[in-house]
Structure 1
Amino acid sequence: MVDDSEDDAYLLRAELARRGLPMYCRRVDSALDMAAALASDDWDIVLSDHDMPGFDALAALEVLKRSGRDVPFIIHSGRISDRQAVSAMYDGVDDFIAKGDYERLVPVIGRELRGALARRAVRQADSRIEQLAFFDGLSALPNHQSFCARVEAAIAHARERGRTPAGVVMVVDLDRFLRINASFGYDTGNALLRQVGERLRAGLAVEVMLARLGGDKFGVFLPAVVERGEAELVARWIVHSFERPFLKQHIELFLTASVGIAMLPGDGRAVHELLMNAETATGQVKRSGGNGLRFFERTMNAASAERLALEADLRHAVERSELFLEYQPVVAAAGADIRGVEALVRWRHPHLGRLSPDRFIPLADESGLIGEVGAWVLGEAARQGRLWADQGLDLRVSVNVSAVQFSQPRLLETVSRALHDSGLAPAQLVLEITESSLMNDVESAVGMLRALKNMGVRVAVDDFGTGYSSLSYLKRLPIDIIKIDKSFVRDLGGDSRDVAIVRAIIALAGSLGMSTVAEGVESAAQADVLRAAGCDFFQGFHFSRPCAAEALVL
C-alpha cells in the first residue's frame, strides 16, 4: 500500500479482510521505502493513493517499473481526475478505483491477480522451453546448440567491428567411459558426468564457456584468446583436473580425458569446422593412449580421411572373407615340442594388400567394430583348434582380446558361442589380455576373469611388465599364464638388468602357480638364458614365424 495515511491503510486492510481477502501488507509513503519493499519481498499487487506530499501514484509507478517486477498496480484514490486516471492507465497503471469503493475494488484485485498468475505461468513455460532448447538436462550446462550459438555470436561480433575473430575451441572427451556404465550402471555414469561438469565449471574462468556436447564429451570456448601458450595452460589444467578421484557412494573412481584444441581463425572460421577439427585432434590423443592434449594440425585431416575409408572397408571385411588367421607356435622349453599356437589376425585388403593387426585393430576398437572382428577371430581360431584336436593333436589355441573387447559384457557370450559352434574343449582355448587392460579397472576385471574361468577357458596376461601391475591386485586375478614381453627378451644376452627382471617375473609366476611364456625369442642364446631362469614356454622367430595353419610343422 502506497499511502501517507496510516488510518486509510488500516481501513483498507480491514475492509478487504472482511470481504474474504486476508493479506499481509506493508505501507510505504516514499520512493526509497517503496524500492526497499519491492526488493525485499515478492509482492502480489500494489495499491497506491495518488495525491501524497512529495510522492504520488505516477512516481510510485516509476519505482515499480525500475524494479523490473511484474506486479499489478492499482490507483485507489479520491483525489485524481478522470483525465489523470486515463493518462495514468496509458502509462501502465492497471486500473483506477475511487477510494472507498470496495465493492468494485475486490473483483478488480481478483482479476489482476489472475492475470499476473497467468503471465507468470507463461514466463515459466518460456523459461522451461529455453532450458530444454539450450541446456543439457543431465549436467545443467549449456548444450551443443547453445555452445554453437555462443561461438558463432562471438565470431559475428568480431567481424561486425572489423576485427579478425579470435578464440579457442576445445573438445574434452572422457577416456574409456563406457567401462563405467558397463561396470557400475548408467546411474553411476550420469552422476560422474555431473561431477565432471561441476569440477570443470568451478575451475574455469567466468568468461569461459563450458558446455556438454553430448555423451561423455564437453566443449570449452575461450573467447578472444590468440596465444597457443594460454590455450595450452587451460588444456593442461583440464587434463590435470582429472587426477583427483571422483566419488560415488564413497567409492573412488578415476577418469582421464583427451583434449583436442582448435584455434580461430587458422583452424576454422565457423563453429562446426572448429568443433570437427578439435574432435580430430582429440581422436589423435585417444589413439596415443588418452590422458593428454593435442592442437589440431591440417595433416590430421588427411589421416582422418584415410581412416574413414579404412573403417568403411573394414565393415565389409568379414562378410567378404578378407580376414584370415596365421598361427605362431608356442614351444616347450624342455624339448622344444609345440604345445600351443597364438592366432594372429591379418587382413587381405583388396587395394592395400596384406595389413597387420596394428593397422586395423585400433580402428576396430575405436569404431565399435571390434565386437564383430573379435567374434570372427574367436570362432575361426576355435574351429581350427577343434580340427587339430580331431587329428589327435593336444594344442592350446591362444586368441588376443583387446581392451575394448574385454570391457564389453558380451565377450562372455562371444566366447561361449565360439566354443559351442566349434566343439573345442574350453581348456584348449587361451584368452590373452594385456596387463594394462586388466589394471584399468581391477574390480571389473576380476569379475570378468572369474566368469571366463567358470567357463573353463584359460587366461594369459600379455605384454607382462610393460604396464603398471600391483602385486596385491595380481594375486587376486585368476590367471593361468604370464607372457613376458619381448622388450625384456630382446637384450637378454647383454643386459644384466633384463636378465634380473625376467628371473623375477618367472619366480613371481611360479610362486603364484602360473606358467610363463617368453615372447620374441629370436636366438638360441636368448632361449638358453630363459631356460636357465626356469621359463616354461617360448614363442618367437627362432622357432617359427606366424604362418597358415596348413603350413605349421606339427
Structure 2
Amino acid sequence: MVEDNEDDVFLLNAQLSARGLDTYSERVDSAHDLARALEEREWDLVISDHAMPGFDSASALEVVRRSGRDIPFIIYSGKISDHMAFSAMRNGVADYVQKGNIARLVPVIERELRGVETRRAVQTADARIHALAFFDTLSALPNQTLLRAQIDDWLDSARRSAEARHATLLVVDIDRFLRINTSFGYEAGNAVLREAVRRLIDRAGDGAMIARLSGDRFCVFAPACTTRALASGLAQRLMDAFATPIIKDGLELFLTASVGVAMTPDDGDDAQSLIMNAEAAMASAKRSGGNGLSFYAREMSASSAEKLVLETHLRHAVQRGELFLNYQPILNGQTGRPSGVEALLRWKHPQRGVVAPDRFIPLADESGLIVEIGAWVMREACTQGKRWHRQGMDDLSVSVNVSAVQFAQPRLLETVRTTLEDTGFPPEKLVLEITESVLMKDAETTIGMLKALKNMGVRISMDDFGTGYSSLSYLKRFPIDIVKIDKSFVRDINEDEDDAAIIRVIIALARSLRLTTVAEGVETPEQYGFLRREQCDRFQGYLFSRPVDADLLEQRIRAGGFDV
C-alpha cells in the first residue's frame, strides 16, 4: 500500500477483511521504503495512492519496474483525472479505482489475484521443465546438456581472450557399482550415489562444474587445473572421496573410482570432444583394474572406435551362430584319463575369422554382454555334457567360467537352475570356475552366493589360484571344491625354486582342506613329472591337448589318446 495516510490504509484493510479477503499489507510512502519492501518479501499486489508529499504513483510504478518484479499495480486515489488514469494504464498500471469505491476495488483485486496465480503456475511449470531438461533428478546436479553448454561458453570466452587458456575435464566412474544395486536394491544404490555426489562436490573445489553423465558416471570441468600436475592432483582427490567406506543401514560399503582426464586445447576444443576423450581415458583406467586414473592419448580414440565396431558385431554373434565352444580335457592324475573338460568360448567372425578370446571377452565384460553370452555358454556346455553322458562317458564333468560381471548378478542363480533343469545335466557334474580375485572382491557377499550355488549341487572351482590376494581364513570359509593352480607358477617350476615352493604349499594347503588341485598350463613332461611327484590331483594343458571341438575330443577320449 503506497499511501501517506495511515487511516486510509486501516480503513481499506478493514473493508477488504469484511468482504472475506484474508490480506497482509505494509504501508510505504517513499521510493526507498517501497524498494526495501519489494526486496524483503514476495508481494501479490501494489495498491498506490496517486499524489503524496514528495512521491506519486508514477514514481512508485518506476520503482516496481526497477525491482524486476512482475506485480500488478493498481491506482486507488481520489485525486487523478480520467485522462491521467488512462495514460497510467497505457504505461502498465493494471487498473484505476476511485478511493472509497470499495465495491469496484474488490473485484479488481480478485481479478488481478487470479492473474497472479495463473502466472505463478506458468512460472512453476517453466521451472519444472527447465529442471527436467537441464538437471538430474536424483543428484540435483546439472546434466550433460547443461554442462556441455557451460563448457562451450567457457571455451568460446577462452578463444576470444588474447592468450591460450588451459582447463581440465575429468570423467569419474564408480567401479563395480552394479553390485550395490543388485545386492541391496535401487533405494540403497540411490542413497550411496547421493553420498558419493556430496563427497565429489566437497573435493572438486570452488570454480569446478560438476554434472552427472549417467548412472554412476560423473563429469568434472575444472578451469583452474591448467597443468597435468594440477589435473593429476584433482583426479587423486576425487578418487580419495571413496577412501573411507559409505555407511548404509549399518553396513560399510567400500567403493573405488576410475578417472579419465582430458585437457583443453590439446585433447579437444569443444565440450563433446573433451567428454568423449575423457571417457576413453576412463575406460582405459578401468581396463587396468580400476581405482586409478588415465590421461587421454590419441590412440585411445582409434581403439575406442575399433571396440565400438567389435561390440556391435558381438551383440549379434549369438543370434547369428558365430559363437562356439571348444573343450580342453582335464586329466585325472591317477588314471591318466579325462575326468572333466573345460568349456572355452570362441568366436568366428564372418569377415575377421576367429577373434582371439582376449580381444572379445574383456569387451563382453565391459559392455555387460557377458551375462547373455555366459548364459548361452552354460546351456551349450551342459547340453554337450548330457550328450556325452548318454554315449557312456557319464563320469565326465564340465567346467564353465563365470566372469566378475556374471557373479555380481543375482540372476546367476536362476540361470544355473534353469540350465540344469532344461538340459537334465547332473548338478554335481557342473563345475563353475570363478577367479580368485573375483571371489575376494567382497568376501562376505561371495560366501552367500557360493552357498546358494552349492545348495543346487554344483561344484565350485577357484581359478587362477595364487595370483590374487586370498586370505587363508576366507579360503577355509569358502565352500569350494577345487583349486586351480595358475599357469604362471607352472611355467617355470623346474627352473624357479620360488614357483616350485609356492606350488608345494598350494597342494599341501588344498590337501589339508580336502580340496582337489588342478594344475593348468602343463606343457612339458618335466612340469608334468614334478606335479605328479607333488601329488597334484588333476592336469590340464597343451601337453595333453589343445582346446578342440566336441567331436574331435570325443574321438580322442574313446581312443585313449592323452598319454604323455
Q: Could you say whether these structures have the same fold, taking a TM-score greater than 0.5 normalized by the shorter chain as the test?
A: yes
Distance 1:196 1:386, change over 3 A: same
- Counterparts of 1:245 and 1:114, CA distance in 2: 53
Task: Give the secondary structure class of the aligned counterpart of 2:440.
Answer: helix
Alpha-carbon displacement from aligned partner over 1:292-317 (angstroms, at most 9, x marks no partner): 22222221222223323333443454
Deviation at 1:204, TM superposition (A): 2.1
Percent identical pairs in the alignment equals 58
**Count of matched residue positions in the alignment of Structure 1 and Structure 2:** 554
Distance 1:131 1:309, change over 3 A: closer
Deviation at 1:434, TM superposition (A): 0.9
Query: Is residue 175–residue 290 contact of structure 1 (8 Å, CA) maintained in 2?
Result: yes
Distance 1:67 1:493, change over 3 A: same
Query: Is residue 370–residue 404 contact of structure 1 (8 Å, CA) maintained in 2?
Result: yes
- Counterparts of 1:158 and 1:82, CA distance in 2: 57
Residue type at the aligned position of 2:179: R
Distance 1:376 1:95, change over 3 A: closer
Which residue in 1 is equivalent to 2:519?
518
Which residue in 2 is equivalent to 1:406?
407
Which residue in 2 is equivalent to 1:30?
30
- Counterparts of 2:84 and 2:21, CA distance in 1: 28
Alpha-carbon displacement from aligned partner over 1:447-469 (angstroms, at most 9, x marks no partner): 43233222211001111232233
Task: Give the secondary structure class of the aligned counterpart of 1:440.
Answer: coil
- Counterparts of 2:72 and 2:426, CA distance in 1: 83
Query: Is residue 207–residue 224 contact of structure 2 (8 Å, CA) maintained in 1?
Result: no
- Counterparts of 1:80 and 1:228, CA distance in 2: 71
Which residue in 1 is equivalent to 2:297?
297
- Counterparts of 2:353 and 2:20, CA distance in 1: 90
Which residue in 1 is equivalent to 2:16?
16
Query: Is residue 165–residue 224 contact of structure 1 (8 Å, CA) maintained in 2?
Result: no
Which residue in 2 is equivalent to 1:121?
121
TM-score of the aligned structures, taking structure 2 as reference length: 0.87
Alpha-carbon displacement from aligned partner over 1:470-506 (angstroms, at most 9, x marks no partner): 4454444321112232334445456555455445444
Distance 1:91 1:448, change over 3 A: same
Which residue in 2 is equivalent to 1:155?
155
Deviation at 1:430, TM superposition (A): 0.8
- Counterparts of 1:150 and 1:241, CA distance in 2: 25
Please show how residues 207-246 of structure 1 align to structure 2 within 5 Å. 207-223=207-223, 225-246=225-246
Residue type at the aligned position of 1:42: E
Which residue in 1 is equivalent to 2:482?
481
Distance 1:33 1:280, change over 3 A: same
Task: Give the secondary structure class of the aligned counterpart of 2:431.
Answer: strand
Q: Which runs of 5+ in 2 are unaligned?
A: none
Distance 1:342 1:105, change over 3 A: same
Alpha-carbon displacement from aligned partner over 1:366-397 (angstroms, at most 9, x marks no partner): 23332343234323433443344333462322
Distance 1:109 1:398, change over 3 A: same
Q: Which runs of 5+ in 1 are unaligned?
A: none
Residue type at the aligned position of 2:360: F
Which residue in 1 is equivalent to 2:361?
361
Please show how residues 101-500 of structure 1 align to structure 2 within 5 Å. 101-159=101-159, 166-223=166-223, 225-318=225-318, 321-334=321-334, 336-389=336-389, 390-392=391-393, 394-493=395-494, 497-498=498-499
Residue type at the aligned position of 1:398: S
Query: Is residue 323–residue 347 contact of structure 1 (8 Å, CA) maintained in 2?
Result: yes
Name the stretch that deviates more: 40-49 or 398-407: 40-49
- Counterparts of 1:7 and 1:381, CA distance in 2: 95
Task: Give the secondary structure class of the aligned counterpart of 2:171.
Answer: strand
Residue type at the aligned position of 2:19: R
Name the stretch that deviates more: 202-211 or 505-514: 505-514
Which residue in 2 is equivalent to 1:98?
98
- Counterparts of 2:191 and 2:404, CA distance in 1: 24
Which residue in 2 is equivalent to 1:60?
60
- Counterparts of 2:469 and 2:174, CA distance in 1: 21
Distance 1:74 1:319, change over 3 A: closer
Name the stretch that deviates more: 362-371 or 128-137: 362-371
Distance 1:144 1:7, change over 3 A: same
Distance 1:122 1:380, change over 3 A: closer
Name the stretch that deviates more: 153-162 or 107-116: 153-162
Alpha-carbon displacement from aligned partner over 1:416-442 (angstroms, at most 9, x marks no partner): 454345443221111100122223344
- Counterparts of 1:12 and 1:302, CA distance in 2: 76
Which residue in 2 is equivalent to 1:71?
71
Deviation at 1:66, TM superposition (A): 3.7
Name the stretch that deviates more: 228-237 or 322-331: 322-331
Query: Is residue 166–residue 227 contact of structure 2 (8 Å, CA) maintained in 1?
Result: no
Name the stretch that deviates more: 80-89 or 268-277: 80-89
TM-score of the aligned structures, taking structure 1 as reference length: 0.88
Name the stretch that deviates more: 139-148 or 305-314: 305-314
Query: Is residue 204–residue 220 contact of structure 2 (8 Å, CA) maintained in 1?
Result: no
- Counterparts of 1:424 and 1:14, CA distance in 2: 89
Deviation at 1:136, TM superposition (A): 1.7
Alpha-carbon displacement from aligned partner over 1:330-374 (angstroms, at most 9, x marks no partner): 334456554333232333445544444212211122233323432
Alpha-carbon displacement from aligned partner over 1:7-56 (angstroms, at most 9, x marks no partner): 33222222322333343322233344333333333332222333333443
